[in-house]
Amino acid sequence: MTDSKTGFDGFPFYDAVVIGSGPAGLSAALAAAESGASVLLCERLRTFGLKLLASGGGKCNVSNILDPTSFMEAFGREGRFMKPALDCAYHDWLFSFLKQQNVSLKLENKFHYFPVSEQARDILNAFANAFRHFGGTMKNETEITNIIVNDGKISSVKSNDEKMTECKSVILAAGGTAWPKLGGCSKGLELAKSLGHTVNPLYPAMAPILIRNQWVRDLTGISLPDAGISFRRGRTIFQNRGELLFTHEGLSGPCAIDLAGALAETCARNDDDTELILQLDASLDSAAWRKKIDSMRNQDGRKLVRTLLSRHFPHALADAVCRLAGCYDDKICELTSSFRDRLCTLLSGVSLCAYGAGPMEKAMAMKGGIKLKEVNPATLESRLVKGLFFAGEILDLVGPCGGYNIQWALSSGRLAGLSAARMSISEN
């Protein structure tokens, strides 16, 4: 809408101040400006939307094909919190907005949406240009260091240059602590804490899983197209299936990184390592392996077990499995029936010792954050401070890899921006 006016105390005044220029902040700022609010967006870094620019390897996996119900389920038990934001703004809104801005999307692997240009910058520019078009102001290198509340209501913010800005609402879209080189920090969480909000414990998510077993680390560089991982926390079983990569610290690839947050939390809660079961080929259970092994035995009885297994897995992995099973130098015809049973049990689920995930420096997202019970899902306004709204990764919700977190940031940003504008303008 407009440039800033002057507030009661003689400082610049905006209806809404947005903290953070990631997808959540950009979407919130645009929604509020579009609704007629005067909006200032502040980013502490020199570059706006640095993490967004790096997302999806610079191509930005902006969303995926899931319907809202399946989308929420992927965020776990708390996923229902997202419903009002997804009802307010999901695919229809996002796709038509991007189309208006001349950003076309394409589908990859029949699941992930990317801009056709494969440039994350196009997504950033679409939001930033539209925001400026509605009169919004963007300031980089401006860190908000204090949010000031009077009589339970937001009244102003203070920035690192000691300047005050008066406002009716603040949208805290300051992201999480993951990947600090791309802007991850705890500054937004600290601001929320200073206003009485609870920050649930933080863990690295969308990150490699750390494994103690040396034989796993020795397989660095090997990948499996369809592996399975599972572990338990009490009665809950966490499991995933997909491409897996062995690394010098443990396991990576989509199959592993999607479980990282839950695993890190499990290790921390138990203050101990967690047993993780690795299925080297998720399509084969123990009985299927037994059939396969018996047929190998019938056809190639005089061959070494590891030679036969290397038809199914990379050599080094076949060798490692045979070493673990204790049949490295054995021909398949030499294995007794009970030994073959044990080998099949191992092939269908090797027990590993996991000691966490991360580090946060290499995590694509953070698990944990602002306690959801303290935020009204219908508006994303704080239940503790009038005029304070939240959006994006700062809230205690994290999805797996695959366009979930950016879509959530954009949807929650939109709801927070519309709600903040409604509140601020109704009070003018």
Ligand X SMILES: Cc1cc2nc3c(=O)[nH]c(=O)nc-3n(C[C@H](O)[C@H](O)[C@H](O)COP(=O)(O)OP(=O)(O)OC[C@H]3O[C@@H](n4cnc5c(N)ncnc54)[C@H](O)[C@@H]3O)c2cc1C
Nearest alpha-carbon partner for 144 in 6, 23, 25, 8: 25
Given candidates 34, 37, 53, 56, which one binds ligand X under the rule CB under 6 A?
56
Sign (positive or negative) of CA dihedral 297, 303, 305, 308: negative
Task: Please say whether the beta carbons of 64 and 407 come within 8 A.
Answer: yes
Contact range with ligand X by CB under 6 A, out of 270-278, 327-335, 352-360, 389-397: 389-397
Residue 252 makes contact with ligand X by CB under 6 A:
no
By CB under 6 A, residue 396 contacts ligand X: no
Within a 13 Å sphere around the CA of 1, how many CA atoms are in the beta-carbon half? 18
Does residue 367 touch ligand X according to CB under 6 A? no
From candidates 15, 34, 43, 396, binder to ligand X by CB under 6 A: 43
Residue 237 — φ and ψ, nearest 5°? -110, 130
Applying CB under 6 A, which part among 216-224, 264-272, 329-337, 387-395 lies near ligand X? 387-395
Instruction: Rule CB under 6 A: choose which of 74, 148, 164, 185 binds ligand X.
Output: 185
Compute the distance between CA of residue 256 and CA of residue 245 in angstroms, rounded to an integer.
8
Q: Is residue 406 involved in binding ligand X (CB under 6 A)?
A: yes
H helical segments located in 117-165: 120-133
Q: Does 334 bind ligand X (CB under 6 A)?
A: no
Residue whose CB is less far from ligand X, 27 or 213: 27
Residues within window 124-163 making contact with ligand X, judged by CB under 6 A: 143-144
Does the protein bind ligand X through residue 94 (CB under 6 A)? Answer: no
Instruction: Identify any residues that bridge with 304 across adjacent strands, giving them in sequence order.
Output: 331
Residue placing its CB nearer to ligand X in the complex, 115 or 349: 115
Query: Would you list the DSSP string of 404-423?
Result: HHHHHHHHHHHHHHHHHHHH
One residue of 173, 227, 372, 418 binding ligand X per CB under 6 A: 173
Minimum CB distance to ligand X smaller for 346 or for 365: 365
Q: Is 115 a binder of ligand X (CB under 6 A)?
A: no
AA letter at 396? D
Pattern 335-364, ligand X, x by CB under 6 A: -----------------------------x
Query: How do beta strands 39-42 and 12-19 pair?
Result: parallel
| Contact call for residue 1 and ligand X (CB under 6 A) | no
Long-range (24+ apart) CB contacts under 8 A made by 157-165 are 157/17, 157/19, 157/42, 159/42, 160/44, 163/11, 164/9, 164/11, 165/4, 165/11, 165/12, 165/13, 165/14, 165/17, 165/40
Residue from 347, 409, 416, 421 touching ligand X (CB under 6 A): that is 409
Beta-sheet pairing, 365-370 with 375-376: unpaired
Near ligand X in 300-319, by CB under 6 A: none
- Do 13 and 167 contact (CB within 8 A), yes or no? yes
Taking CB under 6 A as the rule, does residue 53 contact ligand X? Answer: no
Q: Does 210 bind ligand X (CB under 6 A)?
A: no
Q: Which of 91, 168, 187, 367 binds ligand X (CB under 6 A)?
A: 187
Q: Where are the beta strands (DSSP E) in 269-420?
A: 274-279, 350-357, 365-370, 375-376, 381-382, 388-390
Quote the least distance from Cβ 69 to ligand X, whole Å: 18
Which residues lie closer than 8 Å to 351 by C-beta, 6 or more apart?
275, 276, 277
Q: Where on the chain is the footprint of ligand X (CB under 6 A)?
A: 19-25, 42-45, 50-52, 54-56, 60-61, 143-144, 173-175, 178-179, 182-183, 185, 187-188, 364-365, 392-394, 403-406, 409
